[in-house]
Amino acid sequence: MSTAKRRRRELRNAALMVGPFVLILLIFFLYPTYKVIALSFTDAPLIGEGEWIGLANYAKLLNDKLFYTSIWNNFYFVLLTVIPTTVIALLIALAVSKLKGRMQALILTLFFLPYVLPVSVVTLIWAWMLDFQFGILQPLIEAVTGKSVPVFKNPHWVMPMIAVVTIWWTNGFNVLLMIAGLRNIPTDLYEAAALDGATAWQRFWRVTWPLLWPVTALVLTLQLILQLKLFDQVYLLSKGGPFNSSYVVLMQMYREAFQLNNGGYASAIAMVLFLIIVIVSVLQFQLLRIGGRRK
């Protein structure tokens, strides 16, 4: 077979193999990406054509108080979840990795299990746990604050409690990554440190922490991006309330598009989230890389 013929066949095969994926990518991903950008410069309703209005949607965003509230709540939620979940996952991973055999498998299963649940199952269970009248956690809240609190209807409690629910739900994923990271640390390093008379505390800060840093950085980055995309839990537990105290960017996008019929404006909101996530992930990736190199 001639080279030219073989080359033609390779190209045909490549086209056949890449084709289905590329087609799906084009129609259901790249085209919508283009469409969201285009829509954000129009006054289109959700369904139907709109007029080109330039940057008017973005100008409107800059004067939209609710939008600032949403952005602030997103960052507040990031603050409440990202570092706490990373620390909790690290502690659990350190504990689990000290165990052996069946005991280790059992404990890991218990900590990981919530991660596979659908979000609405998680919120149903926690809404019941924290039910104002009959919730089993209310006595605990009463013991601390002196009275029962309808947590998802209270502006001070709503975000921290959604954070607790979210950490409970997603933490297992981080635990797994941390355990994998711990397993990759060569044991002879610990033996050498022990021979040198290092205390457990020193072994953690001089061996575990620096060698685990790449995984910790990965967990932090993945969590940051994930938690900025908060919607499901808020929608299911508080619908953004009370008094917009749990209103977040995707909640606003949802309401503008699907309840107020402002497709163009909703697209502008989506674009801002898009930009925030791209900037934050690039920045954080760079920062964490520098931090890791210095160690």
Partner 1 sequence: MTAKQARNIAFSALVLIAAAIWIFPLYWALTTSLRSENRVVSEGAGVLMDELNVSAYIDVLSNSKLPMWYLNSVGTSLIITVIVLITGMMCAYALSQLRFPGRKALYLIVVGSFMVPVPALYVAQFVLMSDLGLINTWWGIILPQLIVPVVVIVYKQFFDAIPKEMREAVLLDGGGEFTLLFKLYLPLNWGITAALAIITFISAWNNFFWPFLVVTSESMMTIPVGITQVNDSFGVFYARMMALALLAAAPVIIGYLIFQKRVTEAVMISAGVKG
- Specify the stretch interacting with partner 1 by CB under 8 A; choose among 63-71, 147-155, 193-201, 267-275: 267-275
Residue 263 as a binder of partner 1 (CB under 8 A): the answer is: yes
> Contact region for partner 1 (CB under 8 A) — 24-32, 51-59, 72-80, 199-207?
24-32
Report the distance separating Cα 129 and Cα 125, nearest Å.
6
Provide, for the chain, the percentages of residues in helix, strand and coil under a 3-state DSSP scheme, each rounded to the nearest 5.
Answer: 80, 0, 20
| Residue recorded with tokens 């019929």 | 261
- Centre a 10 Å sphere on the Cβ of residue 80 and count the other Cβ atoms it contains: 19
Query: Does residue 271 belong to the site contacting partner 1 (CB under 8 A)?
Result: yes
Distance CA 6, CA 96 (A): 55
Give the residue, chosen from 2, 63, 133, 187, that forms a contact with partner 1 under the rule CB under 8 A: 133
Does residue number 195 form part of the binding site for partner 1 (CB under 8 A)? no
Binding range to partner 1, per CB under 8 A, among 28-36, 67-75, 154-162, 192-200: 28-36
- Residue 59 CB, nearest approach to partner 1 (Å): 19
Say how far apart CA 263 and CA 269 lie, in whole Å: 10
Query: Phi and psi (nearest 5°) for 52?
Result: -70, 125
- Residue 212 lies near partner 1 (rule: CB under 8 A): no
Binding marks (x or -) toward partner 1, 77..106, rule CB under 8 A?
---------------x--xx-xx---x--x
Q: Which is nearer to partner 1, 109 or 202 (CB)?
A: 109
- Contacts for 122 with CB less than 8 Å, ≥ 6 apart: 114, 165, 168, 169, 233
* Token digits of residue 136: 């089993």
Among 169, 205, 201, smallest CA distance to 89 is for: 169
* 3-class state of residue 279 by DSSP: helix
Contact between 4 and partner 1 per CB under 8 A = no
Among 67, 77, 157, 173, binds partner 1 (CB under 8 A): 173
**Is residue 152 a contact partner of residue 127, using CB atoms and an 8 Å limit?**
yes
Q: Does 140 bind partner 1 (CB under 8 A)?
A: no
| 10 interacts with partner 1 by CB under 8 A | yes
Residue 201 binding partner 1, by CB under 8 A: no
The least CB distance from residue 152 to partner 1, in Å, is 13
Q: How many residues bind partner 1 (CB under 8 A)?
A: 88
User: Smallest Cα–Cα separation from 159: which of 90, 225, 253, 227?
Assistant: 227
**Least distance to partner 1 from the beta carbon of 191, Å?**
17
Residue 194 binds to partner 1 (criterion: CB under 8 A):
no
Query: Could you say which of 11, 87, 283, 287 contacts partner 1 (CB under 8 A)?
Result: 11
- Report residue 5 CA to chain centroid gap: 49
